[in-house]
Every structure is written in C-alpha cells, then in structure tokens.
A and B are shown apart, each in its own frame.
Chain A
C-alpha cells in the first residue's frame, strides 16, 4: 500500500506570494495533520482535520489555512509568504479521530522563500 504522499517535493517562492501544498493520506485514513519543521528543530503542529472539519490548530498566524476534501486528501495554504516560512512541511495521516492511533508521516514538501 502507498504511504502518505505529498506534492510538490520542492518549491521555491518569493516573499508575498501564495503557496498551496497537497497531501494524500494512507488509504482508509480519515485524519490528516500538518506540521512545519524549520531547519534544526522538531516539527511544529499546524492543523489537524478529520471528516473535513478542523479538529486542532497550532500557534500559527491566520496566513496559514487548510482544508480536507471528501476523499480525505488535504491542502495547506500559506498567504503572504515570509522568509521565515521556509521550512519542510510535513503531512501525517491517522486512522481515526479522536484516538491514540499513531500518525504516519509523508516525506514532506521543502518550501524555500526568497
């Protein structure tokens, strides 16, 4: 079975632009979470979605938004990009919510903001 997939793998944007990152969860998984990982640090939680509804939000500005589609795939949108948004963006899927099911991570999208 395919794992969590993310696209694109790499992306270069300039300050002020908008970006959309995409994630497809493992088949059968209904919950998707997004994390940001700045170089040298652990991943930081951004959002969790389950059944197309937001179930959790981390401490990120309103420039960050996300949504989940009926097929459980998800998009993360970031507006008005700043240099500090340069990071690896990770998507994780899990079977259900709420639960202590483990989260399975994708390979990430490397975003560079110039």
Chain B
C-alpha cells in the first residue's frame, strides 16, 4: 500500500481557507486518495475522495496533482468546528478493500 506524508499540525484563522497538503509519491494507478477527519473523542468522519480528477462536495474540495504524487484538501471557510485531526489515506484494492490505513494525520486548529 502507498504511504502518505502529512505535516503534524497547522493553524488556520476562522473564516479563511484551510489548505491541507498530503504527499503520496508511491501511489499507483488504481489507488484512490481519501480524506477523513476525527474531532476529539469521536469516530473518524469521511470527507471526500478522488482518483485523479479534482473533487468538490459540501464539505471540502480535493485537488490532486497531475502526476498524482500529492494532493491538497481545501476547507473553503474554516470554522471552529473544523478543529480536528485530518487523515489523508491512499486506499488500495482489491486485497485491502475494507482496510483504511491511517497515519498520524494533521492536527488542525482553527482560531477565532
């Protein structure tokens, strides 16, 4: 499975965009990039996923570079409730369809 590298922490001002980077230089062609977040003492929450095209939903946007070696999760208008650990995960299949390999993630703190 491909591994990911994320910065351990970052701060963001409330109302500003938060751009969370992730490196996955060994990703292979059929592997998807997933983002989850975990607010303190809760279960992880799915945010978004993509293969090679940029994706957007009501929570965030996912920008994947053309070579797919890195991606950026964008929270367009961060709120205090976005304070959480954000995990970038490369998901393989078919041998590991059900397995999400979480790393240490990025602790994002949104400040007023």
Q: A residues within 8 Å of B by Cβ?
A: 4, 31, 33, 35, 41-45, 48, 50, 55-56, 58, 90, 92, 94, 97-100, 102-108
Contacts and interface: CB of A to CB of B under 8 A. Distances in A.
A100 B51 CA distance: 11
Interface string B82-112: 0001010001011011111111110000000
Interface residues of B, number: 23
A108 B43 contact: yes
Contacts of B32: 100
Nearest to A100: B32
A106 B43 contact: yes
B96 to A, nearest CB: 7
Contacts of B105: 42
A104 B36 CA distance: 10
